[in-house]
Each structure stands twice: as structure tokens, then as C-alpha cells.
Chain A
Amino acid sequence: MASFELRGVGKRFGGVRALDDIDIRFESGRVHALLGENGAGKSTLIKILTGAVTPTNGEIRVDDTTVTIDSPRRAQELGIAAVYQEPTVYPHMTVRENLFMGQELRGRSGMLDRRAMTAAAKPLLARLRLDPSILSRRMSSLSIGYQQLVLITQALLRDTRLLIFDEPTSILSREETARLFEIIGELREAGTAIVYITHRMEEIHQIADEVTVLTNGERRGTYPIAEVSTERMLSLMTGGHGSARDREPASETVQRERRPMLEVTNLSVAGHCEDISWQLPAGCITGLYGLVGSGRSEAALALYGHIRPSAGRIQLDGQTIRPRHPADAIKLGLGYLPEDRQFQGVFLDKSLEQNLTSNTLPGFSNVFDLLDLAGMRRFTTELMNHYNIKAPGADTSIGDLSGGNQQKGLFSRWANLPLKALILDEPTRGIDVGAKDEIHRFIRHLADRGMAVGVISSDLDEVLAVSDRIIVMREGRIADTFEHGPHSAETVLASAIGSADDDNRAAHHDTTEESA
């Protein structure tokens, strides 16, 4: 019996505590579900197990022997593998090559023995119900679902004893999901230890043996699946503070002025979201809640002119708009704060001043294109004071600041533009609680000034705390709209994960019984 155990394992990033002295044990032949919202510590936990980060403290034991997992390679040697939501592999190479990379089978001449590799892969492919012809296909020509199955096959080939699934179903079709569950069931029978990470409650009842709930880097508890109801898990996930929002409803004048500012009709982005219709009223914060992969960001990027929508109409302040570049969108009065701070947001080696003025430069340049440097410095200092960005000065490189201060900086970029509507994508992901509260306050100020604000978030607390109304997206479609709060965490979460869908749940129960 293989076992993998964390004892008092914790991880800090700078001042932020990502994981707080966790005790958890994974055993062969069992599916252990990890449940928690984004930022609850699940991904840090996987990174520790797969050697991507080393824990700040604590002990890892494999088969009751203490081990150090200091590199991904070491994790592989210990028989730990992970299947991520979006597999990264060798896209231009065949499935066979991906499967056997670094461990190729050779014939007597030393050449690749394709036949032997095919023969070795066939039984595993059969277990996963894959046709052997897939071996000669290029990895990039497969759908993500198939790529995941290839990675599972690879893990099997390499004697993986602990297989981690990181939200594998969030972008899979219903059929693909059903097949994946059957496969996981078979792996369990064969004695693999499985960690299954998800947001989706009904999946847990379907495949897990036990469940651990994480919130804010802490373990709330581990339960055998039979002893815990969906309602109980929801309340554990939402923690103590998860019910109604106790903010005063917006004043009556604002209520009256709630005319639709940004209106999206039947918007589709090929492969990401379909037929989405929603509106952002002026002077109001609309939470756009949905789990990762629900097509939220792509819809926003399409509005913003960064990617082309395949269909749909966008209206801003009553005018139909068709921005072809973010610059067009900004000129029309529509802003977007991107989701990925590092890759889409900051100019890392550049000063705060260069970062904060990057989208207001036209305002500071004269006919000769010369910049008013003194004015820009004043402007930056004002933003720093107003938005409480803690840095030695406007010259400080933004990369030297904490995540929270970086994020406040990016937020301040937008806050001073004369925008009609602003969409904020995960405005507080991965930052400390203090900065989070500040940003939530700033967002409220924008709405009070009459701006239509959309907050995309997969953090339920955030959506509940900051929104006047909530739109829930699921699998690229609108699942529900909750007007004028207060709303309970349970209702919103239930809508996002689809556990309210009774037929659906019944169907899943059937499959569980069949495979059991």
C-alpha cells in the first residue's frame, strides 16, 4: 500500500501565507477530493507535491519515509504526476512521442521501435478507451480532453503511484467528463492514489472516497464522502462569513439611474463562450461569477477588442460599438483590467511612473509628442497617495513591490480615465487581505461616480462582498442572474457548479452505481 503524507506543511510567499501547516494523507486505491475556492491553497499544495515549489516548513512522507521533493524530476521519481487543466506538452510531436519522451523503446539497431512502443501503449490506451490510431496524431491536433487522456496514459506508463487531477473537467464536454470518471474509477481499482481537485460538488459525490475542504490556506476538515452532504460542504467552503452581504443598498438616486451602460447581446467567442447576453448598469457593480474556464475572460477580451468575437452585438451607452483594438475600446470609454498581472498587466522592470501612466500618455504629450515629465511625476505621486500604493518613490521598479501594491497600481491606471464602463478581471487574485479590502473600496467609489463596473471573479467572497448584482456563468453560458442582494453564498455557489440541476445529479448517480 502506497501512501503520501504531508505533516504540518506550510508555504509562505513573501508576507502572504498560501498554505498553513496542513496535515493530509493520500492512500493508494482511494480518490481524495480537494475542495476549495481559488486562493484556498489547492494549487500551492499541488506545486509542493510536484516539486514546483518547496514548502517553508513541514515534512513530506512517502510510504512512511521522509522525503524531500526539491525538483519536478524528483517528484517524477517518487511516482507523483499531475494532469493539469490545460496540458503543456510537445505540441508539434506525435502522441507516441509524447508518451515515451525520454524513455523510448529501441530495437536491436538502436532505432526507435515504434511497434514495441505501440504494443506497450495499446493495453493502456485500451484501458482509457482510446483508439491506437491516436498514437500517430500530433498532440496539437487533439482536443484538450484527449490531451488530458494522453497525459494520463503517460502517467500510467511511468508507474505513477500518486496521480493529481487539477480541475480536469472544467473545459471538458459531458461525454469526456463521463469517460474520465470511469477511468479514474478504474485507476483506483488498480491501486493508484488519486487526488482530485475541483470546484464542483456533484463530481465529488460521484467519484471521491473522501474530501478535504480548504479555505484561505487552512484545512477545514477531512471527511469520508458518505458522511458529508453537499450543503455541509458548501457551508464549509464558504466559511463562517458566507451568507448575506450587510452593506447598505445603493441610494435611491443611484437606483433610479441604473440604465444599462454596457450591453452584450448573443456574444460568442469560438471555443470559449456561446451566446452570452448580459448588461452592466451605470453606477452599479455587477459581479460576474463563474469558475475558471467558464469563458468569462474571453468574453471580456472580445468586448475590449483584443480578440474577435465570432458573433454578437455590443452596445455602450446606447451606441453599437465594434472595437478592433483595445485602444479603440478605451477611446470609446470601455476599460479592462486583465486577469494575469505578470503577463498581461505590469511592465516588470519599469518604474511605477512608467507603469501608471502607460495608458494616459496622450494626455501628457504636446504637439511635438514631448511629455510633461513633471506633470507625470505629480500624477503618479497623486495616484500613489490616493490609492495607497506603498513604494519608496515614483522611480521604484514595479517588480520590487508586493503583489498587492502592484495590483493597486494597475487598478489606479484605469480609475482616473473618463470611462463609461470598466471590467475588472480577478482584481484581487493572489494579494493580501488588506490590499483586497482597499481595492474593493476603490471599486465602490468608481460605481458611486456613475461608472458601470463589472467584476469577474472566481472568489465567491469577493463577488458577494463587492457586487450589487451577480451574474453566474457556467460552461460558457449564463446560468443565473441575481438582482439586488443580499444573496447567500450557498445559492450562488450552487448555481455556478450546477448542483441545483436535479436531473443532472440523478444522471450522475446512475453512472456512479454502474461503475461501482
Chain B
Amino acid sequence: MNRIDWTGRAPVLLVISLITLIGVSIGAPGIWSTDNLFAMGVLAVEIGIIALGQTFVINTGGIDLSVGAIFALAQVVMGLAMVGGVPWPLAVMLGLGVGVLCGLVNGLATVWLRVPAIIVTLATMFAFSGLALVITSGIDVSGFPEGFAVLGQGTIGSVPLQIVAIYLPLLVLLAVVQWRTRFGRLVHLTGTNTLAARLTGIRIGRVQIATFVIAGGLAALAGAINASRLTTARPDAGATDNLISIAIVVLGGSSIFGGKGSVVGTALATLVIALVNYGLSFNNLNAIYQSGLIGLILIVAVLMQNIMLSIQQRRAAAT
């Protein structure tokens, strides 16, 4: 594991968490019950999973604006399949397959057409969310088999299933992928210096495609949990998740230019965001405030990092 980079966003994140903790404790003292914490976790899991996928894309130097659309498309595909009589595990697999396919489209278009990822995924965002609306005629899909509810409403003991059985294992798995596998290394090397990576024999195109596939698959997984939790698959779900997932990843210490960042940082940022959100909603404040605050935190975090960096540079110049 890398040592903590004090010029990075880690200290900023720490400060924000502390302020949030204190603020939430004072503003909403009742929040620290296990029930509340679990409720908070449930809300965080879905965007948290999307952000994990986004981390890999951003760490190679790309960006994926279409994850929210994939989130919606995958959930309506599995919703329609279930309504059409497909057994739910199969339907979920189908939805995940759709997510992977969408990711593949993003990756191939970025690598083959040599178009910046931000444009490709802007286009596919329109296309995927359009498709979600087209296949449902814009109407929510519901009436799922009972078993499907386990993904978003099941519990293990008293703990929500998606926290212990999906998110945490996924986080551990991806942290291992990032720090212990060859693929994880390749992601960071590619993001650090694309040209050097190619000249050292790394097939950077394949690495980039793989990250988009991961992001697509995870967005679909989050979509499945979302549809199960709400017993409805909405074709317009996840519209703000594109940008919020990017905000979380950047807040979690990833550089928007690639090469720097970790899924653990993303998970921590997700936790901070979840805390802020839940603190606000506990005080009956609207979801829009929550995302507003995320935006503010994002800006302040990057600003503070820049200020610290320039202080450090000035000190270095002085010596």
C-alpha cells in the first residue's frame, strides 16, 4: 500500500469527515443508532458501487459520463425480463451483461476512434438513457418476483445484505485487484504516462477497454440493487449519478488526469458523502441540498489541495 500523500486529498477528506461527524452529531444527535447507520449504508451502497467502477476509469486517465445511464438501462432490462417471466437470477445476469456490453461500447469507441472519453461517454449517455426510455416507453417497470427483493431488501442478521454481502466484499476484491494484481498495476501505469506504458510493452488500449467494462458492469449491479430496493425499475433513474460518481472519485484522492487514486479512497469519500447526505435528510433536508453540498466539498477539497501544493512549492523554492 502506498504511504499517505499529504499533499493529496487525504488530509482534506479527513478534515471534512471530522467536521461532518461533529456537525451531524450536534445537528442530529439521534443519528447514531444502528438502524440509522444501516439506513445510511443502504443509500450509500448504490452510488458507492458506481464510484468504484468510475475509479478505475479515471485512474487510467479516462472519464465515464454514462454510468448513470447504464444504471438505468440495466435495471429496466432486468425489470422487463422478470415481468416477462424470466427467473430473477437469470434476469439479473442479463442486466449485468447489458452493463458489460455498454462498457465495451464505451471502451471500443474510445480506443478505436481515438476520441476523448468525455465525448464518447457524453454520446453514449444520451444513447443508453434514450434506450432505457424507449424499451419501457418511459414507464416504470414493477411487479418483480419475490426472490428478487433479496438484493436490495434482504438482511443478514440485522445488517442489510447489500452492505455485507455485496459492497464490502466487492470493495475488498477491487482493493486486491488494484494493489495486488497485474491489471491494477497496469491501470496506474497507463494513467501515469500513457506513452511510456506503451513503450514498455503494455497494451494500453486493452487496459482502457477493461476499465470501461468494469465501470459498466458495476453500474448495472448498482442498478439491480436499486430496482430491488424500490421494487421498481425506473428508466430515468441515475441521472445525477454520472456526475456525483466523478465527484466522489476525485474527492477520494484520484487525480482527474489519471495515475493517482485508490478504491479505498473512493470508499472513504463515499462514506463521507453518505454521512453528509444522511445527516441532511435526517434533518429533513432535500436530496438537492445533499448534492449541492457534495459539489461544494469537491470544490473546496481541490482548492485546499492546490493551496497546500503552492505553499509547498514556495517553501521548496525558498530553500
Partner of B202, one of A345, A354, A358: A358
Query: Are the CB atoms of A344 and B196 closer together than 8 Å?
Result: yes
CB distance A373 to B196 under 8 Å?
A: no
Across the interface, B198 reaches (CB within 8 A) one of A306, A349, A362, A413, namely: A306
Contacting pair B259 A344 (CB below 8 A): no
> Does B222 reach chain A (CB closer than 8 Å)?
no
> Is A361 touching B199 in the complex (CB atoms < 8 A)?
no
A369 at the binding interface (Cβ < 8 Å): yes
Q: Is the CB of A354 within 8 A of B199?
A: no
For B177, list chain A residues within 8 Å (CB): 369
Is A196 in contact with chain B by the CB < 8 A criterion? Answer: no
Shortest C-beta distance, A345 to chain B (Å), equals 6
Does the CB pair B193–A347 fall under 8 Å? yes
Within 8 A of A (CB), among B153-183: 176-177, 180-183
Task: Tell me which residues across on chain B come within 8 A of A325, comparing CB atoms.
Answer: 198, 203
The answer to whether B181 touches A349 (Cβ under 8 A) is no
A327: CB under 8 A from chain B?
yes
Contacts of B188 in A (CB 8 A): 350, 354
Taking the complex as formed, is B192 at the interface, i.e. its CB lies under 8 A from any CB of chain A?
A: yes
With A327-B203, A359-B200 as contacts: A349 and B192 at CB distance below 8 Å: yes
Are A369 and B181 CB-contacts (below 8 A) given A327-B203, A347-B193, A349-B260? yes
B259 touches A345 (CB 8 A): no
* Contacting residue for A348 out of B176, B182, B183, B192, CB 8 A: B192
Tell me whether A190 is interfacial, beta carbon within 8 Å: no
Q: Is the CB of A350 within 8 A of B199?
A: no
Chain A nearest CB: distance from B114 CB in Å?
15
| Chain B residues within an 8 Å CB radius of A369 | 177, 181-183
Contact partner of A364 (CB less than 8 A), chosen from B182, B189, B196, B202, is B182
Residue of A nearest to B181 (CB): A369
With contact pairs A350-B192, A369-B181 given, residues A361 and B260 touching in the complex (Cβ less than 8 Å):
no
In angstroms, Cα B198 to Cα A330, docked, is: 11
Tell me the residues in window 316-362 of chain A with beta carbons closer than 8 Å to chain B beta carbons. Answer: 325-327, 329-330, 336, 338, 343-351, 354, 357-359, 361-362
- Interface size range on A against B: 20 to 34
A327 engages B202 (CB within 8 Å): yes
CA A345 to CA B193, docked complex, whole Å: 9
Task: Assess the A370–B180 pair: CB atoms within 8 A.
Answer: yes
Nearest chain-B residue to A365 (Cβ)? B182
Contacts of B311 in A (CB 8 A): none
> Are B193 and A346 interface neighbours, CB within 8 A?
yes
Q: Are B189 and A358 in contact (CB under 8 A)?
A: yes
* A178 on interface, CB distance cutoff 8 Å: no
- Give the contacts of B34-88 with A (CB-CB under 8 A): none
Interface range, B side: 20 to 34
Which of A329, A349, A371 makes the CB contact (< 8 A) with B185? A371
* Partner of A344 from B2, B181, B195, B201 at Cβ < 8 Å: B195
User: Which positions 415-473 of chain A face chain B at CB distance < 8 Å?
Assistant: none
Q: How far is the CA of A354 from the CA of B179 in the complex (A)?
A: 11
Contact A343 B196 (CB under 8 A): yes
Q: A357 vs B200: C-alpha distance in the bound complex, in angstroms?
A: 10
Q: How close is A365's CB to chain B, nearest CB, in angstroms?
A: 4
A409 to chain B, nearest CB (A): 12
Q: B182, A347: Cβ atoms under 8 Å?
A: no
Q: Does B91 contact A (CB under 8 A)?
A: no
Partner of A347, one of B181, B183, B189: B189
Contacts of B195 in A (CB 8 A): 343-344
Which of B183, B195, B200, B260 neighbours the largest number of chain A CB atoms within 10 Å of its CB? B200
Known: A325-B203, A359-B201, A370-B180. A345 touches B185 (CB 8 A): no
Chain A residues contacting B247 (CB-CB under 8 Å) are none
Considering the complex, which residues of chain B in the window 1-20 have a beta carbon less than 8 Å from any beta carbon of chain A? 2-3
Please, how many angstroms separate the alpha-carbon atoms of A326 and B188 in the complex? Answer: 19
Instruction: Using known A-B contacts A344-B199, A349-B259, determine if residue A361 contacts B193 with beta carbons closer than 8 Å.
Output: no
Question: Bound state CA distance, A357 and B189, in angstroms?
Answer: 11
Residues of B within 8 A of A362 (CB): 182
Flag if B180 contacts A326 (CB, 8 Å): no
* B181 contact set on A, CB distance < 8 A: 365, 368-371
Please report the C-alpha to C-alpha distance between residue A136 and residue B221 in the assembled complex, in whole angstroms: 55
- A362-B182, A373-B180 known; A347 vs B199 contact (CB < 8 Å): no
Q: Are A330 and B201 in contact (CB under 8 A)?
A: yes
Q: Chain A's nearest CB lies how many Å from the CB of B90?
A: 27
> Which A residues are CB-close (under 8 A) to B273?
none
Bound together, the chains give a CA A59 to CA B92 distance in angstroms of 75
CA distance in complex: A364, B185 (Å): 12
CB contacts (< 8 Å) of B260 on chain A: these are 349
Query: Are the CB atoms of A326 and B189 closer together than 8 Å?
Result: no
Point out the residues of chain A lying under 8 angstroms from B196, CB to CB. Answer: 338, 343-347
Q: Chain A nearest CB: distance from B305 CB in Å?
A: 15
Closest to A363 in B: B182
Provide the bound-state CA to CA distance between A395 and B196, in Å. 20
CB-CB under 8 A from A370, the residues of chain B are 176, 180-181
The 22 listed contacts between A and B (C-beta, < 8 Å) are A306-B199, A336-B199, A338-B196, A338-B199, A344-B199, A346-B193, A349-B259, A350-B188, A350-B259, A354-B188, A357-B185, A358-B189, A359-B200, A361-B185, A361-B186, A362-B182, A364-B182, A365-B182, A368-B181, A369-B182, A370-B180, A371-B181
A: which residues have CB within 8 A of B? 304, 306, 325-327, 329-330, 336, 338, 343-351, 354, 357-359, 361-362, 364-365, 368-371, 373, 395, 413
Q: Lowest 10 CB-CB distances: which A-B pairs, in order?
A: A365-B182, A369-B181, A330-B201, A347-B192, A327-B201, A359-B200, A361-B182, A358-B200, A326-B201, A359-B201
Extra 8 A-B pairs, beta carbons < 8 Å, given A326-B200, A364-B182:
A344-B195, A347-B189, A347-B259, A349-B260, A354-B185, A357-B185, A358-B202, A371-B185
